[in-house]
Amino acid sequence: MRVIFMGTPEFSVPTLRAIADAGHKIVAVYTQPPRPAGRRGLETVPSPVQQEADRRGFAVHTPMSLKDLTAQNAFRALAADVAVVVAYGLLLPEPILNGTRLGCYNGHASLLPRWRGAAPIQRAIMAGDKETGMMIMKMDRGLDTGPVALSERVQIGADMTAGELHDQLMTVGAELMVRALSKLEDGALALTPQAQDGVLYASKIEKGETRIQWSNPAAEVHNHIRGLSSFPGAWYEAGAKAERVKVLRSTQAEGSGEPGMLLDDDLTVACGRGAVRLVEVQKAGGKPMPAQEFLRGAQLKKGMKLQ
């Protein structure tokens, strides 16, 4: 089929590759415009999707908006059979949703209607969910409200991070989208309306919620840490200079004490109820490192308190 692909981050790239490798014709790729990068932001870097599209010689479009008539006419002029959307980042107005012969199909990283919105992977882990999945949905005017075509469930391990789940889901999503397009081409893709119960919204992760709150129960602290790993990263401060340290990996542990207190010399930290042991950390400007390596250069001892 003639396919318009719409996506931006690394999560979208496997689906673009899979669709092209399955023999569909990519008539255009829509992605977010290049963004400033580097510490000074002096250079602009194309999105991961644009980099993949450029490597394959696909036509790339980077509009700031799809609300104007010129952009909508250009989209329709591509005469595509279907548009595939995976983490694109722009709202699609109705003329775009209806701008292909068969409509727009979205690969979404949750078990809808749970975790509609921007950050379903992080929110699922932060909430302590034991499973999530990928769903292929036909898009409508609402936010992730369209009928579902295909789905596949994925288990969330007790210590799995958002980064690990991200990588698993983007592979699952690519395979699922290829299956959906095959069924759509054959006229055999059935659509099921989403349930009315169990709707939850996965709001964007804000900087103000990334600091670790040691007063929370250990399970919540652990889920917070792994839900924000590896980006943007949950963090604490310690020492006279209040050095900020990201925690990239943790596990629940035995022990109790004043929230934030180090219970041993192995980075076990007391929480409001129970404790967590920090397994992998990253100092500001540094590289991720195992806790034992970090401790060799850190002035942290049993009885000290992390903020």
Domain boundaries, given as residue ranges, for the chain: 2-201, 207-297
What is the per-residue pLDDT for 39?
64
For tokens 């292909």, the residue is 100
What is the per-residue pLDDT for 47?
97
CATH fourth-level superfamily of 207-297: Formyl transferase, C-terminal domain (3.10.25.10)
Is 69 annotated among the ligand-binding residues? Answer: no
Q: Percentage of residues in the chain with pLDDT exceeding 70?
A: 98
Please check the confidence at residue 297 and state whether its pLDDT lies above 80: no
Which residues in the chain belong to E strands, given as ranges?
2-7, 25-30, 35-37, 43-45, 60-61, 82-86, 104-108, 116-117, 131-138, 148-155, 201-202, 234-238, 243-253, 268-270, 275-283, 289-290
Q: What is the pTM of this model?
A: 0.94
Instruction: For CA atoms 199, 6, 49, 148, give the dihedral sign.
Output: positive
Mean pLDDT, residues 179-202 taken together: 97
Is 191 annotated among the ligand-binding residues? Answer: no
Beta bridge mates, 5: 29, 84
Closest alpha carbon to 75 in 56, 59, 86, 89: 59
261 within 8 A of 269, measured Cβ to Cβ? yes
Mean pLDDT, residues 234-253 taken together: 90
Is 151 annotated among the ligand-binding residues? Answer: no
Is 111 annotated among the ligand-binding residues? Answer: yes
Mean pLDDT, residues 116-127 taken together: 97
Tens-digit pLDDT profile for residues 82-96: 999 999 999 999 999
What is the per-residue pLDDT for 103?
98
Architecture of domain 2-201: 3-Layer(aba) Sandwich (3.40)
Please check the confidence at residue 239 and state whether its pLDDT lies above 80: no
